[in-house]
Amino acid sequence: MHPALVRRFVLPRMLRRTWPELTARRGELEASQWESAAQHEERQVERLRTLLGEAARSPFHGPRIAAAGLANGGLSSLADLRRLPILEKQDLKDRREDILVTGVDRSTVTASATGGTTGAPTRYYWDDRYWCLSSAVTQRAYGFLGFEPGDRHAMIWGTAFHQSWRARAKETWTQRLKNLLVIPGFELSEERMGVWAKRLARHRPKVVEGYTSLLLLFGGFLLRNGIRDIRPKAVVSSAEKLYPWQREFIERAFGAPVYDRYGTREVGCVGAECPSRQGLHLSSEHVIVEVVRGNEPVPVGESGELVITCLSNRVFPFLRYRIGDLGRLLAGSCDCGRGLARLELTEGRVHDLLTTAHGTYLPGEFFPHLFKEYAGVHSFHIHQRSDKSVHVRVVKTPAWAPEQEASWTREIQKVMGNVQLSLEYVPKIEATAAGKLRFTSSDVPVDLVNQAKEMVGA
């Protein structure tokens, strides 16, 4: 369908309840991105006061806000926010219902779950206000690259589990109306990539988006087979840290510049690169990003843990949420002239590829997509030994049930094939030396990665 028809007719009808607010928020963001850093900070303080006022009605946040002296307009600057304790992922698991603001109409909120990209799936709530601003921020990030809603778009992405054929058919039809082609990222055999490459060439996407590891896999297929008729204007990498050698390899494969984006399921798009590619422009109207070591702030330019406050989710406040990634704030301004602060990930999500019994590769992102469906899983780690056997370690929650184990075992064997699978329940998954929960690791060499590094001289 012509992009203009999708923008003018399809999307406004498909999103009739939220489209007016979404377009209004997008218009505001287009203007505010050019404001100064001081103006952005002033807006953040104003929105943070509003958020604290709402969060004070949360049984979890209320006492913390009062103890920090931030109740009833007690916040005067962003520095005051540091008086609040950090919100940990464990808090979301233990106190989820208490974090929800008292008096919220349950019919107006949506329950959701993260993919557990640090090895620990979490569940939370959001409402239309959050969705509209979060979606507008994402649209603006696409807009950096000259892409607008309705333009032809392709995603190499994970797909939902346990979806009925009716739900899947509806989702596919909706994607077609949006000019979106979704390539199932957990089914990328050589044969399937051949089929999808032909469909992708016919689709002629303006932007191709995917997990970094999936873009590597698909890009390797294109290069091996000399396929050069898939030439988007831009490629967007997300969900995993993008290294320079990966960027160069993917650019060769798709014949287009690669742009990094950083976001989380809980708070949406945190930051995205513009064409200058001088760091991730933070979505300052939507989030506040702190960099800490332990609980103390670190100077601009130094690496630490990322702590995020989402300014637009007032029903389930993420106040100083330790996200599990490492990064550093960048000094100075970008050549593009935007006043948005900038971030660089120094250690992001690194997920090893696993090798299936069929000799194909399975991206590590498969496992958080899988385990977020099970309330009985607190955290997990997947390790593939050199003989290709797979060892699964799981920390259980009180909601664990034997049938869940049977279900996720079937799903793993479905994609991994006839590999030996062992399961161990443990009290805790240990973090790496850098403090990350790396949820997949493999002792099996991945030829594609080595070939890609050799090709770009990394």
Distance between CA 324 and CA 315 in Å, rounded? 22
The per-residue pLDDT string of the chain (458 residues; one tens digit each, 9 = 90 and over) reads 899 999 999 999 999 899 999 999 999 999 999 999 999 999 999 999 999 999 999 999 999 999 999 998 899 999 999 999 999 988 998 899 999 999 999 999 999 876 555 545 678 999 999 999 999 999 999 999 999 999 999 999 877 666 677 877 888 889 999 999 999 888 788 899 999 999 999 999 999 999 888 898 899 899 989 999 999 999 999 988 888 989 999 999 999 999 999 999 899 999 999 999 999 999 999 999 999 988 889 999 999 999 999 999 999 999 999 988 889 999 999 999 999 999 999 875 555 678 888 877 887 878 887 887 788 888 889 999 988 999 999 988 888 888 888 898 988 988 888 889 999 999 887 755 444 456 788 888 766 666 666 666 65
Whether the Cβ atoms of residue 206 and residue 152 lie closer than 8 Å to each other: yes
**Same topology for domains 28-134+265-340 and 143-259, yes or no?**
yes
320 touches 256 (CB < 8 A): no
Over residues 314-340, the pLDDT tens digits come to 999 999 999 888 899 999 999 999 999
What pLDDT, on the 0 to 100 scale, is given for residue 451? Answer: 62
Amino acid at 398: P
d(CA 263, CA 238): 8
Architecture of domain 143-259: 3-Layer(aba) Sandwich (3.40)
Cα Rg of the chain (Å, integer): 22
Every domain of the chain and the residues it spans:
28-134+265-340, 143-259, 354-456
Distance from the Cα of residue 168 to its chain's centroid: 22
What is the pTM (predicted TM-score) of this model?
0.85
Helix (H) or strand (E) holding 250: helix 244-254
* Protein fold of 28-134+265-340: Rossmann fold (3.40.50)
CATH code matching the domain that covers 354-456, chosen among 3.30.300.30, 3.30.360.10, 3.60.21.10, 3.40.50.720: 3.30.300.30
What is the pLDDT at residue 434?
43
* Residue among 117, 3, 77, 50 at smallest CA distance from 351: 117
Give the bridge partners for 322, in sequence order. 307
Helix ranges (DSSP H) in 144-203: 165-177, 190-203
